[in-house]
Structure 1
Amino acid sequence: MSSSLAPEPVLPIRSGGLTASTGPLLPLVGMWAVYAVAMLLVFHAEIAQLMFMDTDDAMRLQQVRDWIGGQGWFDISQHRINPPTGGPMHWSRLVDMPIAAIILLARPLVGQPLAEILACAIVPLLTLGALCLATFRAARLLLTPVPALLVIALLLLTPTILIQFTPMRIDHHGWQILMATIALGGALDPQRGRGGLLAGLAIATWLQISTESLPYAALFGALFVLRHVIDARESVRLTAYAAALAGAALLLLLVTHGTSALVQSQCDGLSAVYAWPLALFALVVVAGSRFPAGGHAVSRLIAPALGGMVALGALLWLGADCLTAGPFHQLTPLAYEQWYMRVMEGRPLWEQTLSIAGVSLLPSLLGLGATVAAAWMARDAEARTQWLVMAALLLGALIMSAMVMRAMTVAHVFALPGTVWLLVTLFHRIRALGSAPLRVLMSVALALLTPASLASVWATLAESAEPSVPIKKDNCRSPATLAPLRALPPSLLFAPLDIGPDILVHTAHSVVGTGHHRNVIGINAVTHAFLAAPDDARADVMGVKAGRGADYLVMCARMNEILLYTQSGHDSLATRLSRNQTPDWLERLPATPPLRIYRVRKD
Structure 2
Amino acid sequence: MTLWRVPRHGRTMPASLLRQPNIAILVALVWLLAALALLVQFWDQTAETLLDTDDAMRLVQMRTWLGGAGLFGGWFDLHVTRLQPPEGYDSHWSRLIDAGLAGLYSIFRLFADQAAAERLMRAWWPLLWLLPTIAGMTAIAWRIAGREAATIALLLALVGVPAYQQFTPGRIDHHNVQIALTLLVAAAVVWSDRARWIAAAAGALSGFALAVGFESLPYLAVCGAMLALRSVADAIAARALRDYGLSLAASAFAAFLVSVPPWRWETPACDSIAVNGMAAAVCAGLVLALAGRLAHPQALTRALAVAGAGSLALAVFLLLEPRCIRGPFATVDPAIWPVWHDHVRELQPLLAVIKSKPLTAAGIAAFPVAALLAGIVLAGDPRLRRDFGFITAAAMFLAAAGTTWFAIRGYSYAIWLGMPLVAALAPRVFELLRLRLLAAKVAAGLMLTPMAVSAGAITVAHATGLQDRDSFARPESRHCLLNASYAALAGLPRGLIAADVSFGPYILALTPHSAMAASYHRLSRGIVGAHRALASPPEQAREVLRQSNARYVMTCGPRPPDGLAEPARGRSLWGQLQAGRVPPWLEKVPDMQPLAVYRVRS
Normalising by structure 1, we get a TM-score of 0.90
2:423 to 420, 423, 440: 420
- Cα gap change, 1:451/1:109 in structure 2, threshold over 3 Å: closer, same or farther? closer
- Cα gap change, 1:15/1:32 in structure 2, threshold over 3 Å: closer, same or farther? closer
Deviation of the 1:234 alpha carbon: 1.8
Deviation of the 1:387 alpha carbon: 1.7
Q: Could you tell me whether the CA contact under 8 Å between 2:371 and 2:421 is conserved in 1?
A: yes
Which residue in the other structure is 1:407 paired with?
A: 410
Is 1:346 the equivalent of 2:350?
no
Residues of 2 paired with 1:543 and 1:310: CA distance?
48
Secondary structure, aligned partner of 2:23 = coil
After superposition, residues 189-204 of structure 1 pair within 5 angstroms as 189=191, 190-191=193-194, 193-204=196-207
Is 1:484 the equivalent of 2:488?
yes
Deviation of the 1:220 alpha carbon: 1.6
Q: Could you tell me whether the CA contact under 8 Å between 1:566 and 1:574 is conserved in 2?
A: no
Is 1:148 the equivalent of 2:147?
no
Moved more, 351-360 or 79-88: 351-360
Tell me the alpha carbon deviations over residues 183-236 of structure 1, each in whole angstroms, 9 at most, x when there is no partner: 111111133532322222222222111112222232122222221111111222
Normalising by structure 2, we get a TM-score of 0.90
Secondary structure, aligned partner of 1:212 = coil
Residues of 1 paired with 2:351 and 2:413: CA distance?
19
2:186 to 174, 180, 184: 184
Q: Could you tell me whether the CA contact under 8 Å between 2:165 and 2:412 is conserved in 1?
A: no
After superposition, residues 185-584 of structure 1 pair within 5 angstroms as 185-189=187-191, 190-191=193-194, 193-294=196-297, 296-324=298-326, 327=329, 329-333=331-335, 335-353=336-354, 354-377=358-381, 384-431=387-434, 447-463=446-462, 464-468=464-468, 472=474, 473-475=476-478, 476-544=480-548, 549-558=549-558, 560-562=559-561, 565=564, 567=566, 569-570=568-569, 571-584=571-584
Residues of 2 paired with 1:250 and 1:537: CA distance?
47
Secondary structure, aligned partner of 1:597 = strand
Secondary structure, aligned partner of 1:168 = coil
Which residue in the other structure is 2:34 paired with?
A: 35
Secondary structure, aligned partner of 1:594 = coil
Residues of 2 paired with 1:27 and 1:265: CA distance?
45
Which residue in the other structure is 2:118 paired with?
A: 116
Matched to 2:158, the amino acid is: L
Deviation of the 1:119 alpha carbon: 0.2
Deviation of the 1:489 alpha carbon: 1.7
Q: Could you tell me whether the CA contact under 8 Å between 1:192 and 1:234 is conserved in 2?
A: no
Secondary structure, aligned partner of 2:596 = strand
Q: Could you tell me whether the CA contact under 8 Å between 1:481 and 1:595 is conserved in 2?
A: yes
Secondary structure, aligned partner of 1:141 = helix
Deviation of the 1:143 alpha carbon: 3.5
Q: Could you tell me whether the CA contact under 8 Å between 1:207 and 1:249 is conserved in 2?
A: yes
Deviation of the 1:413 alpha carbon: 1.0
- Cα gap change, 1:88/1:393 in structure 2, threshold over 3 Å: closer, same or farther? same
Q: Could you tell me whether the CA contact under 8 Å between 1:10 and 1:142 is conserved in 2?
A: no
After superposition, residues 83-122 of structure 1 pair within 5 angstroms as 83-122=85-124
Residues of 1 paired with 2:457 and 2:384: CA distance?
36
Secondary structure, aligned partner of 1:569 = helix
Residues of 1 paired with 2:538 and 2:309: CA distance?
57
Secondary structure, aligned partner of 2:215 = helix
Tell me the alpha carbon deviations over residues 134-175 of structure 1, each in whole angstroms, 9 at most, x when there is no partner: 222333223333431321221132232101101001111111
Residues of 2 paired with 1:249 and 1:34: CA distance?
35
- Cα gap change, 1:187/1:326 in structure 2, threshold over 3 Å: closer, same or farther? closer
Secondary structure, aligned partner of 1:352 = helix
Deviation of the 1:106 alpha carbon: 2.2
Moved more, 593-602 or 387-396: 387-396
The two structures, once aligned, show a CA RMSD in angstroms of: 2.7
- Cα gap change, 1:217/1:327 in structure 2, threshold over 3 Å: closer, same or farther? same
Matched to 2:255, the amino acid is: L
- Cα gap change, 1:150/1:521 in structure 2, threshold over 3 Å: closer, same or farther? same
Q: Could you tell me whether the CA contact under 8 Å between 1:82 and 1:522 is conserved in 2?
A: yes
Moved more, 490-499 or 231-240: 231-240
Q: Could you tell me whether the CA contact under 8 Å between 1:285 and 1:304 is conserved in 2?
A: yes
Secondary structure, aligned partner of 2:61 = helix
Residues of 2 paired with 1:347 and 1:42: CA distance?
29
Residues of 1 paired with 2:227 and 2:562: CA distance?
48
Deviation of the 1:14 alpha carbon: 5.2
Deviation of the 1:447 alpha carbon: 4.5
Residues of 1 paired with 2:384 and 2:348: CA distance?
41
Which residue in the other structure is 1:67 paired with?
A: 65
Q: Could you tell me whether the CA contact under 8 Å between 2:253 and 2:278 is conserved in 1?
A: yes
- Cα gap change, 1:29/1:98 in structure 2, threshold over 3 Å: closer, same or farther? same
Unaligned runs of 5+ in 2: 1-6
Matched to 2:457, the amino acid is: W
- Cα gap change, 1:208/1:109 in structure 2, threshold over 3 Å: closer, same or farther? same
Tell me the alpha carbon deviations over residues 99-118 of structure 1, each in whole angstroms, 9 at most, x when there is no partner: 11121122242121111011
Secondary structure, aligned partner of 2:583 = coil
- Cα gap change, 1:422/1:140 in structure 2, threshold over 3 Å: closer, same or farther? closer
Residues of 2 paired with 1:325 and 1:287: CA distance?
29
Tell me the alpha carbon deviations over residues 522-556 of structure 1, each in whole angstroms, 9 at most, x when there is no partner: 11111122111111111221222xxxx11111111
Residues of 2 paired with 1:534 and 1:222: CA distance?
56
Matched to 1:586, the amino acid is: L
- Cα gap change, 1:562/1:19 in structure 2, threshold over 3 Å: closer, same or farther? same
Residues of 2 paired with 1:525 and 1:380: CA distance?
56
Deviation of the 1:510 alpha carbon: 1.2
Question: Sequence identity, in percent?
Answer: 28
- Cα gap change, 1:563/1:216 in structure 2, threshold over 3 Å: closer, same or farther? closer
Which residue in the other structure is 1:5 paired with?
A: none
Tell me the alpha carbon deviations over residues 464-507 of structure 1, each in whole angstroms, 9 at most, x when there is no partner: 54335676342211112112102202222112111111111111
Deviation of the 1:592 alpha carbon: 3.8
- Cα gap change, 1:169/1:277 in structure 2, threshold over 3 Å: closer, same or farther? same
